[in-house]
Amino acid sequence: MKTRIVGILSVLCLMVSCVSLECADRDPIRQRTSPRVEVDPHEDNEPVLDNFVRGLIVEIEVFDSTILRHFERVGLVSKITKHSGSSDMIKFEAFRKGVGIFSSFGSDEEINALEGFGIVKKKSRTIIAYLPVPRPFDELFVRFPGVEDKKSLKVGEAFFQFCKQHPGDMWCQPGEVLEF
């Protein structure tokens, strides 16, 4: 009996030592850290900055599908490629002097799932649209999901204010700038 216990203990000890020894083999035998080399900041940040282009940021306060207030400014927005829309989203259409130049879809947070309660419709909400428009425009149409009528927002003032501050910008040159 005693011999058997000693034998079992020996095997267990061997297993423990084997495992720990082998795990040591997983660890490196040599480690070194190279000297630090300076990185060009433009090259380093290019992948990040490449995400953005100039556009119009539109903030809309909404009750149900009524627009209460809106505020616009020119800024950097995400560069966005080709997409298709969905009937559950808000549609934005930009017009310059009556000609459509851009359209976009935005997500609406109107329909909510409240756990243990059910659907909650948020009538009052703020929607922010980031529009990577190709050039200045003066009218933005907003269409809410399931609503036939589209709302018109006059947004030219944002470009006018921008050009007052940046007269040399390409969006503020003759032929491009919006006149009032």
**Footprint of another protein on 33-52 (CB under 8 A):** 33-39, 41-42, 44-45, 47-52
Distance CA 124, CA 122 (A): 6
The one among 1, 2, 5, 32 contacting another protein by CB under 8 A: 32
**Structure-token pair, residue 142:** 């907003």
Binders of another protein in range 139-158 (CB under 8 A): none
Nearer to another protein, 28 or 180 (CB): 28
Of the two residues 4 and 82, which places its CB atom closer to another protein in the complex? Answer: 82
Contacts (Cβ under 8 Å, ≥6 apart) of 131: 55, 56, 57, 58, 77, 92, 94, 102, 104, 140
- Min CB(154)–another protein separation in Å: 21
Q: Rounded CA gap, 157 and 95, in Å? A: 14
**Closest to 163 measured CA to CA, from 136, 131, 133, 134:** 136
CB 50, min distance to another protein, A: 7
Q: Does 10 bind another protein (CB under 8 A)?
A: no
Contacting another protein within 96-135 (CB under 8 A): 102-120, 122, 128, 130-132
Side chain identity, residue 90: I
Q: Quote the Cα angle for 110-111-115, to 5°.
A: 130
Contacts of 176 (CB under 8 A, 6+ apart): 135, 136, 170
Q: Binding residues for another protein, how many (CB under 8 A)?
A: 73
Closest distance to another protein from the beta carbon of 121 (Å): 9
77 lines the binding site for another protein (CB under 8 A):
yes
Q: Give the shortest CB-45-to-another protein separation in angstroms.
A: 5
